[in-house]
Structure 1
């Protein structure tokens, strides 16, 4: 059996509500986990948002869409600097998760263990 990645351990801790795991809206976390492409990324819930990163340690990639909200209503936003900031609003958690995935770059995932930028691009 393959060893769990950092991203997999993080998702599992949040889903099982482990005492040391970061806290977020359970419905939003469960909906994002149900999407295979977002499940491959590193999740980071904070202050009502669920951000996704291509890497597992600070500094974060911060270049992917994210969701804000709770079980009743979510907004999906593009990363800072994107021309269109709000991608969808008044969404269910499952609609928000699907919209995040629809706006992920094709080369996105799985998350690598380490800080951003990826090791191969740091020599450029």
Structure 2
């Protein structure tokens, strides 16, 4: 991992940030646990690691740029209160699907990445 790359640094820091949130809640916050599971699953995907990950409102996003305004062309994914996960298109207006596991949700994100 090249830590001179802003995306690589972000992939390294983001799970630590969300692990702290889970720890602070005593593990009682399922949405935080869901986001952490999504981040950990997404880190395993080379296609996603080249993008800049960020979170907003318990949703994991992927950007082609490392700063504002973010260039979001990839699907976003969010945990649901029932422990499942929802994948939405980049504009959040289209639901691409739901999955029972974070790994399956991330696989749906990768399957719907734009060709470029």
Structure richer in helix, relative to its length:
2
Task: Look up the match of 1:63.
Answer: 73
Q: Gapped runs of 5+ residues in structure 2?
A: 20-31
Give the one of 64, 86, 89 matched to 1:75: 86
- Whether the 8 Å CA contact 1:75–1:88 is kept in 2: the answer is yes
Give the one of 43, 64, 74 matched to 2:53: 43
- Aligned-residue offset at 1:18: 8.5
> CA RMSD for the aligned pairs?
2.5
Q: Which runs of 4+ in 1 moved over 2 A?
A: 1-4, 15-19
Could you list the per-position Cα deviations for residues 26-66 of structure 1 after superposition, in whole angstroms to 9, with x for gaps in the alignment? Answer: 11110111111111110011111000000101011122211
TM-score, with structure 2 as normaliser: 0.75
Q: How many residues are aligned here?
A: 101
Task: Look up the match of 1:26.
Answer: 36
- Whether the 8 Å CA contact 2:77–2:85 is kept in 1: the answer is yes
Task: Look up the match of 1:5.
Answer: 5
Identify which of structures 1 and 2 has the higher relative contact order when contacts are C-alpha pairs closer than 8 Å and 6+ apart: 1
Q: For the structure 1 residues 13 and 3, does the alpha-carbon distance in structure 2 shift closer, same or farther, using more than 3 Å as the test?
A: closer
Q: Gapped runs of 5+ residues in structure 1?
A: 108-124
